[in-house]
Structure 1
């Protein structure tokens, strides 16, 4: 039984343990006013839940052991006992009075009321003892909260420290010691100024103090210095602790060590700059040179010998593949350089028609069919949706082993999504490669490419919230299926 439970919203429970009939009648008449709940059960004292026990002399002699045990279990919370004494004077406080020793009496009873007494007097004594119990319960609650805070702070992975209104440190947790190198004994009594590295200007600290003294929370990244002189980046949140009348009495700071994260972000920023430079080279210099090679190869068709014509065609095909590859690399770089992927509404039909027209012009030897009429459907995507279908169409043509590559594009609308099927008559994709065909660096059957095109398809469709997969075509070839969410 938990004698430390508090009844905050219910009347106090009084447990009368009186043996005298007159005392029973008095308590029955005087306590039955709705202000209290009188416990009238037959449970032992040690199992009963109550806030105040009222006993008379016979009741104390009979239950004193159980009362002492209940009071001991309730510690440090007070479980008060009030004794109704019907004798004269205080002779019962002798070393031995009818079997009740002074030591037992003093350790068991908190208040003595001599009988007869007035109801108002008894009421005042009862309320006084209950107020003492309430304060005892509140003190225990606050003690428990402080203990829980201390345990949580000590176990926290963030540095935590508390200062007074002058900034003097009063508490630090173990993580603070670990990050800064200062022990609790070294830092308590100092101010956070010992951590200053000199990289933050005075205006920042002025802003900090103005914010905190105004009773507001302050958050900022700060470059501090450990005891060993090493720089450490801390993301700090400092909050004022205010009283009920709004006065600031403490400051609590929580700091996360983000030094490694800032180094990683700096490295990513450098890599992003390098990728941007590479993207510009691919987008302009290399692609322009390849277009120039292709133009000269077209001019040479009329002037080379019949024996060299086949070699020239090989050169042209290689150049066209390289141009396509630079296009995919350029698109992939654009995807990687996007800081945030912002989707919009894109008309699917016009996007497919444009890509089919362009691929027909680039590959006149291929037969590309777009099954129409197309459903009037807008999907959730972005301006790079065309790259998805350009790469799928290129993949179906370039990795085709037939003299005349055949590609069929069909569109079907389903609940909340639209499905685009790109089917070819090529060699198909073995079952063992279907699950990985869209992976980075994966290639199709007998492919001399890099696999970057299908990886780009997967990356873009994933960013749109869609899905990609590959199936077998009938009687031969593969079907690449792209499912996209319909724009609402």
Structure 2
């Protein structure tokens, strides 16, 4: 099999291949025999953050996030062989995107005229694996800890002679059981998110409608708390069906961890050109800066001190799947403000 010279690269400009590879949503590029990029489809530009024409004329090594993998691809293609396997692409901003790659020679009249490469983004799969690991850690620690506390209260109830004390201990045990049930529900929601991560795609969602419906449910669930908000702007964000559950988790957190005599939760929305900031503020004890990653399950002090629960970890995972984020700030004069950034389509 003979490789064509660089002078013959004009044969790569034919309309046939151009329309064929641009019709697929999968990120793809075409390079000449010297592995210089000659064309890039819209899916590849979107994935890597480049504008049309910026990659044309650049070496394919420009977008390789792992030199060893790239060298393996080149070796296969240089021998006229196809290549498939795990690939790491590098975006214009310098971030790595993990996925599966396929590359093959473009052969015409027994001559290799160039190569075509197709990339399948597996970032959601990577997110699934990372989130599953943290989820398992949270479930193992939290459930074991809550069960131990419940066991202690029941044991105390059995040994106490005072009826009032027995009643109090049993009530505390019941509360702990309810906490376990609630965490199990959040775990189920997160499991649904992870199981759908391979095929789920974000879509336009009316944030104001989701907020109104979610607030009605939470206000009925917590009648002793005061929820303050104004008419929300009619704005569309990129999300899916789990948005309401994630927002509900943050609202519930603002009430259940509020130690004020009269819990107050304020909900507001700021609309920007390309994103929206949803803020949920409370008048509770606030969150120390040293614990602001811990509460989302993003880190742990040691094997005995983990994130504080499933709900915020679930919300963090959901917003991350939307290419958004959630963080917490101090409220004035007291409490915390949980802010969530959502992208506009």
TM-score, length-scaled by structure 2: 0.51
Distance 1:332 1:348 in 2: 20
Distance 1:471 1:220, change over 3 A: closer
Equivalent of 1:421, from 279, 302, 306? 279
What 5-or-longer segments of structure 1 have no aligned partner? 1-154, 163-171, 174-216, 223-234, 243-247, 255-264, 287-304
* Secondary structure at 1:157 match in 2: helix
* Secondary structure at 1:458 match in 2: helix
1:461 correspondence with 2:319: yes
1:325 correspondence with 2:325: no
The superposition leaves residues 284-307 of structure 1 with CA deviations (integer Å, 9 ceiling, x where unpaired) of: xx9xxxxxxxxxxxxxxxxxx655
Distance 1:476 1:221 in 2: 56
Q: What is the aligned partner in structure 2 of residue 391 from structure 1? A: 249
| Max Rg structure | 1
The superposition leaves residues 186-243 of structure 1 with CA deviations (integer Å, 9 ceiling, x where unpaired) of: xxxxxxxxxxxxxxxxxxxxxxxxxxxxxxx995879xxxxxxxxxxxx78466463x
The superposition leaves residues 429-485 of structure 1 with CA deviations (integer Å, 9 ceiling, x where unpaired) of: 112233554343669xxx997433222222221222323221111221111011222
Distance 2:337 2:185 in 1: 23
1:382: how far off?
0.4
Equivalent of 2:268, from 405, 410, 416? 410
Distance 1:416 1:221, change over 3 A: closer
Q: What is the aligned partner in structure 2 of residue 401 from structure 1? A: 259
Q: What is the aligned partner in structure 2 of residue 357 from structure 1? A: 216
* Secondary structure at 2:326 match in 1: strand
Distance 2:274 2:190 in 1: 28
The superposition leaves residues 93-118 of structure 1 with CA deviations (integer Å, 9 ceiling, x where unpaired) of: xxxxxxxxxxxxxxxxxxxxxxxxxx
Distance 1:392 1:384 in 2: 13
Q: What is the aligned partner in structure 2 of residue 345 from structure 1? A: 204
1:474 correspondence with 2:312: no
What 5-or-longer segments of structure 2 have no aligned partner? 1-69, 86-101, 116-121, 144-162
Which stretches of structure 1, 4 residues or longer, exceed 6 Å deviation after superposition? none
Q: What is the aligned partner in structure 1 of residue 237 from structure 2? A: 379
Distance 2:175 2:306 in 1: 12
Distance 1:161 1:322 in 2: 53
CA contact (8 A) 1:440 1:452 kept: no
* Secondary structure at 1:339 match in 2: coil
The superposition leaves residues 29-82 of structure 1 with CA deviations (integer Å, 9 ceiling, x where unpaired) of: xxxxxxxxxxxxxxxxxxxxxxxxxxxxxxxxxxxxxxxxxxxxxxxxxxxxxx
CA contact (8 A) 1:355 1:389 kept: yes
* Secondary structure at 2:179 match in 1: helix
Q: How many residues align?
A: 221
CA contact (8 A) 2:264 2:282 kept: yes
Distance 1:306 1:386 in 2: 41
* Secondary structure at 1:484 match in 2: strand
Q: What is the aligned partner in structure 1 of residue 171 from structure 2? A: 313
1:330: how far off?
1.5
Q: What is the aligned partner in structure 2 of residue 157 from structure 1? A: 72
Distance 1:435 1:474, change over 3 A: same
Distance 1:432 1:450, change over 3 A: closer
Distance 1:462 1:218, change over 3 A: same
Distance 1:355 1:161 in 2: 54
1:343: how far off?
0.9
Matches within 5 A, 1:4-403: 156-158=71-73, 237=104, 240=107, 242=109, 248=110, 307-337=165-195, 338-365=197-224, 367-403=225-261
TM-score, length-scaled by structure 1: 0.38
Q: CA RMSD in A?
A: 4.3
Distance 1:321 1:468, change over 3 A: same
Distance 2:306 2:343 in 1: 33
Distance 2:271 2:311 in 1: 25
* Secondary structure at 1:408 match in 2: strand
* Secondary structure at 1:474 match in 2: coil
